């Protein structure tokens, strides 16, 4: 396992992505628990890759949520609902992952859903260059029905206690629309942490990830790069 500064991690990840040989855009999964730092890592990595001349497509699992009524059909705090009912994987594969894959035409949509309004999005179809990189962040990305859609997978590992601390800090920062600390803690203990435990038990994501980033200390991360 290596450790170092944040910039050293980003440089190493960019080198690893550059080493992936494919005749189509490289599809990179950035998986991990809620509040692990997946979106931040993906955004930072996009800056590095773009500075190197790569075209980067940024997308997130939040753009492929089912409508709220479907997500919470088993109850607001159901971990099974979080894992099984939250995300429209079929559409995600059809409009994004498969078009960018080995048999695709590279014509894709980055999202189909707006969480803020709980409504469908109808974004224009875009054609990606062959050497583009898709950086896709989200939860549960290495589950069996998605595992073979990625050309490189990164798992951002953080203790559940640390993710709760970060979620509460993030909630406090969203003044006016923030959930209370009690509400966040209830959601974490009843829905999000148990759904991750279900994911770990059924899919064993850290066994399948190409790279594990230990992200408890944001400015002093550690990482493992497995042979592919």
Does the pLDDT of residue 39 top 60, yes or no? yes
When pLDDT is cut at 50, 70 and 90, the band that residue 11 belongs to is: very high
pLDDT for residue 134? 98
Nearest to residue 227, comparing CAs of 205, 209, 214, 215? 209
How far is it, in rounded angstroms, from Cα 92 to Cα 111?
Answer: 8
Does the pLDDT of residue 49 top 80, yes or no? yes
pLDDT for residue 166? 92
pLDDT for residue 98? 98
pLDDT for residue 176? 42
pLDDT, tens digit, 9 for 90 and up, residues 173-209: 544 445 688 889 999 999 999 999 999 999 999 999 9
Tokens standing for residue 183: 């509400």
Listed by start position, the domains of the chain span: 2-220
pLDDT for residue 1? 76
Per the model's pLDDT, the better-predicted residue between 67 and 169 turns out to be: 67
Radius of gyration of the CA atoms of the chain, in A: 17
Tokens standing for residue 202: 């059924």
CATH class label, 2-220: alpha beta
How far is it, in rounded angstroms, from Cα 87 to Cα 110?
Answer: 14
pLDDT for residue 179? 65
For Cα atoms 190, 194, 196, give the angle at the middle one, nearest 5 degrees: 135
Beta bridge partners of 3: 222
pLDDT for residue 227? 67
Nearest to residue 135, comparing CAs of 20, 58, 200? 58
How far is it, in rounded angstroms, from Cα 218 to Cα 228?
Answer: 26
- How much is the average pLDDT of 65-90? 97
* Residue 211 dihedral angles phi and psi, to the nearest 5°: -135, 135
Does the pLDDT of residue 153 top 70, yes or no? yes
Tokens standing for residue 74: 């088993």
How far is it, in rounded angstroms, from Cα 64 to Cα 56?
Answer: 19
Q: DSSP letter at 207?
A: H
Q: Which residues contact 195 (CB under 8 A, 6 or more apart)?
A: 79, 80, 82, 83, 139
Does the pLDDT of residue 86 top 70, yes or no? yes
């Amino acid at each position: 396992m290596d450790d170092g500064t944040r910039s050293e991690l980003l440089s190493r990840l960019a080198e690893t992505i550059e080493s992936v040989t494919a005749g189509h855009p490289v599809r990179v999964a950035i998986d991990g628990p809620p509040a692990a730092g997946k979106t931040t890592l993906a955004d930072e990595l996009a800056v590095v890759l773009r500075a190197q001349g790569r075209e980067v497509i940024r997308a997130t699992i939040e753009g492929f949520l089912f409508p709220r009524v479907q997500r919470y059909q088993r109850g607001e705090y159901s971990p099974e609902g979080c894992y099984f009912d939250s995300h429209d994987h079929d559409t995600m594969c059809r409009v994004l992952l498969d078009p960018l894959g080995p048999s695709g035409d590279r014509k894709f949509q980055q999202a189909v859903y707006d969480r803020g309004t709980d409504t469908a999005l109808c974004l224009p179809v875009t054609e990606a260059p062959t050497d583009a990189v898709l950086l896709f962040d989200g939860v549960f990305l290495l589950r069996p029905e998605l595992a073979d859609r990625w050309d490189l997978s990164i798992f951002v590992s953080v203790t559940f206690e640390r993710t709760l601390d970060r979620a509460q800090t993030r909630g406090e920062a969203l003044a006016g629309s923030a959930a209370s600390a009690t509400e966040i803690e209830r959601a974490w203990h009843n829905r999000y942490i148990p759904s991750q435990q279900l994911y770990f038990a059924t899919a064993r994501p850290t066994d399948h990830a190409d790279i594990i980033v230990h992200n408890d200390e944001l400015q002093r991360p550690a990482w493992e790069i497995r042979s592919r």
